[in-house]
Amino acid sequence: MEIEREPLTSSTEIENHEGAIIEDLRASSQNPLSDPTEWLEKTIERNILLTTVDAAINWARKTSLWPVTAFTACCTFEFIGASSSRFDIARFGMEVLRASPRQADLLVCGGTLTWKMAPQIKRLYEQMAEPKWVIAMGACAISGGIFHDSYSVVPGYNHIVPVDVYVPGCPPRPETLLAGIENLRRKIAQNSIKKSGTKR
C-alpha cells in the first residue's frame, strides 16, 4: 500500500526532510557492516588444491622423464617406433632424447651387452643425476637372451646397473614398452622424500 505524501514546497521543509533522512542513516550506521565473504569462500574452494609435497614432486618427476638410451642391438628399432607419432611417448614428457647422461634421469637399455661394453654402460649410469631409473628392454637386456651362455655376454643388465622395470620380448613391441613406462610411472608415484638419501 503506497502512502501519498504532500509535496514539499519550501526550501526549509526540503532541508528538514533531507536532514531527518541523514540523521536516521547516521543513527543506524554506528557499527560497520560485516563484509560479504561468500564470494571469497567460493573462490578459495574453487582455486585451492590440497596435496602433499611427495605427490607434487612425484607428479613432476613421472610426467617429465628425460631418457638417455643405451641400445647395443635390435631393440633400438622398437624404441624408435615407440617414439613415433603412432605410439607417441611425448605424452609422457619424454619426447627429447638427451644427448648427455648428465641431463637424463631414465636409462632405457636393450640389446646384447658384452663384458667389453659393460664398463661404458656402468659409467653412463653413474653420470646420471639422482633420482634415476633404468628400464631393461628385451630378452637380451633382461637375461642375455639367446646368447646368455656365451663367455663374452653379460647375463642381464641388472648385473651392471640396478634395473627398475623389465620389458620382456625379443624384441618387445612398442605397446609393451609403453606398458613398462607406465609401470615405471606408477613406481615413481610411490616415492617419498622422507627417505634419507637417494632412492638407492
197: left (phi over 0), alpha (psi -120 to 50) or beta: left
Residues of 32-57 as b/e, b for ≥16 C-beta within 10 angstroms? eeeeeeeeeeeeeeeeeeeeeeeeee
Q: Which three cell numbers stand for residue 28?
A: 543506524
| Residues 8, 130: Cα–Cα separation, whole Å | 86
pTM: 0.68
Helix pair angle (174-189, 75-83), 10° resolution? 70
Q: Are 137 and 75 in contact (CB under 8 A)?
A: yes
The pLDDT value recorded for residue 167 is 92
Q: Are 70 and 109 in contact (CB under 8 A)?
A: yes
pLDDT (tens, 9 = 90+) of the chain, 200 residues, equals 565 666 656 778 888 888 888 888 888 777 776 766 666 666 666 666 667 788 888 887 888 888 888 888 888 888 878 887 788 888 877 777 877 888 888 898 888 888 888 888 898 999 998 889 999 998 888 888 888 888 888 888 888 889 999 999 888 888 888 889 889 888 988 888 776 455 55
The verdict on domain 66-195 having CATH code 3.40.50.12280 is yes
The pLDDT value recorded for residue 4 is 63
The pLDDT value recorded for residue 23 is 82
The pLDDT value recorded for residue 166 is 93
The pLDDT value recorded for residue 46 is 67
Q: Which three cell numbers stand for residue 109?
A: 637399455
